[in-house]
Chains A and B, each alone.
Chain A
Amino acid sequence: MRYPTLAFGAARRRRAPPTLVHRHSGITRLWHWVNALCLAVLLMSGLQIFNAHPALYWGQDSTFDAPALSIRAERDADGEWRGITRIGALRLDTTGVLGLSGPREARQRRAFPAWATLPGPRSLARGRDWHFLAGWVFAPGLLAYLTYLVLGGGLRRRLLPRRHEWRRLGHTLIDHLRLRFPRGEAARHYNLPQKLAYLLVLFVIAPLAVLSGLTMSPTLDAAWPWLLDLFGGRQSARSVHFLCALALVGFFVIHVILVLVSGVTNNLRAMITGRYALPPEEDPRDE
């Protein structure tokens, strides 16, 4: 639609065919799709596990009377069950989604609703099975991919910001908010917000998610006591793990929106076949 054929006849100047570039290596593409699957399983099974004790704390152990966050069903003054989410002193009625969910005639008292957990019905044992299975694919994959990025030069070549990009950061961000994305030669490389987002997810949030997950293991805490010091205790680690999951969901939402609005076929093809068509330079007729 945006690149019509000669339907407009000779009057319309024909554009040059777009330049195809090799965007993603086979390793990146494989890793991307395996991760998409793993993260979906990790998130949903993680919510199932959270449901077994739907409260978060800070520190070494659980201060049961004063959780940092809790998602429970509570009876209101009329004796009706309500889903109540508490974050510190904040109290939110989240009936229908958090705390109390399911069809109106068969409400279930559970922190996260059945549609968001793996498996759907309550099963801590199965949730853990899924979580650790996907974790065994995700964590070694992450380690291998980060090693590949660092040693293979991809980190320096494609992800580390360059000096001139910082100077244009404000400009680039405004363009992003206006959904105007780089075109032509500028689209050959990741732009700065993109680089920063990938660096943050790859080198900070994902490793933190893995490490905070490992800190919940009593055996690994014995093997690597520094894990407990890193997070300030097992319950802090559990909260960090939850926050990392939340951050990854946030990344996923923004990621998918940007993929959709910046040329979904082109982006998807780049992540499936590796080839990416550089969007042609600005054309006055697009305005």
Chain B
Amino acid sequence: MSDSTDPARRRFLARALLGTGTLLLAGCDRLSRGDALQRLFDASDALSARAQRLLASREALAREYAPEAIAPSFRPNGTTAPDDPTYRRLAADGFRDWRLEVGGLVERPATFSLAELRALPARTQITRHDCVEGWSCIGQWTGVVLGELLDRVGVRDEARFVVFHCADRYRGGDRYYESLDLREAYHPQTLLAYGLNDAELPIANGAPLRLRAERRLGYKMAKYLMRLELVADFAHLGRGRGGYWEDRGYSWWAGI
């Protein structure tokens, strides 16, 4: 212990520690005010996306559960009753006049009625919905396989993302929208769902049509779909980060 009792050495050590601490704190303070921190978070998110894209192959399936695992009621989240007048009119009529528009970078822009969508190749799957808040809920979804629908309209080569435009405005703010890359859009479990637990999709859960992207967090799975748009990038939409919650600081990848 002889050298640590040397007063000069002690003073030096104390000052060094104090100095480092002050510098670190000042650094953190400056960081959290500027864009540097945001860039660091974006880089970390990009790393997560890259790593997960590497680990989860194109085909890797989300777990599917037995019917006994289905939750007694599927917890709705976000908007549960859109107040958009057009939407309410469509809902009042059982969505008979509702049409899904599919446009943007496609060969044959088209619209689909609910009946037309039901006639397309469908899939039923019992999967777990993971909310970004931390909870999970298991439900059985029935819908058209998004890849099948995309093949019918013909995705152009320059398209990279599918943008989902919705009828709802969360808490009366901006209109909800989301985006998926084509790899996820063509995943066999990615559905445009019109059925939940063997019944028609309830309004609280996104009627008449919602996205199921089972390898992503809940906020990716846009409800109250009105229009799909194929784009090369989404910088011109909303605040440019690819989705309603992404525009408010959440990860676009949304895989963890």
What is A's interface to B at a CB cutoff of 8 Å?
2-3, 17-18, 49-50, 52-53, 55, 57, 60-62, 64, 119, 123-126, 128-130, 132-133, 136, 214, 216-225, 228, 234-235, 238, 263, 265-266, 269, 277
Contact = CB atoms under 8 A, between A and B. Distances in A.
A132 B44 contact: yes
A217 B52 contact: yes
Contacts of B2: 3, 17-18
Contact of B52 (A52, A60, A220, A225): A220
B255 A61 contact: no
Please give me the 7 A-B residue pairs with the lowest Cβ-Cβ distance, nearest first: A219-B255, A125-B249, A217-B256, A223-B56, A53-B133, A129-B41, A53-B134
B60 A216 contact: no
Given A52-B133, A124-B133, A218-B130, A269 B52 contact: no
B214 interface: yes
Nearest to A56: B134
A3 B1 contact: yes
Interface stretch (B61-69, B93-101, B105-113, B156-164): B61-69
Nearest to B70: A61
Nearest to A133: B44
B86 interface: no
A43 B61 CA distance: 31
Max count, chain A CB within 10 A of own CB: residue among B1, B47, B248:
B1
B251 to A, nearest CB: 7
Contacts of A238: 134
B233 to A, nearest CB: 22
Nearest to A17: B2
B153 interface: no
B217 interface: yes
Interface string B126-168: 0010111111111000000000000000000000000000000
21 contacts: A2-B1, A18-B2, A53-B133, A61-B128, A125-B245, A125-B249, A129-B45, A132-B256, A216-B130, A218-B130, A218-B214, A218-B255, A218-B256, A219-B56, A220-B52, A220-B56, A222-B56, A222-B215, A223-B55, A263-B1, A265-B4
Interface string B60-91: 11110100010100010000000000000000
A222 B48 CA distance: 15
Max count, chain A CB within 10 A of own CB: residue among B44, B75, B135:
B135
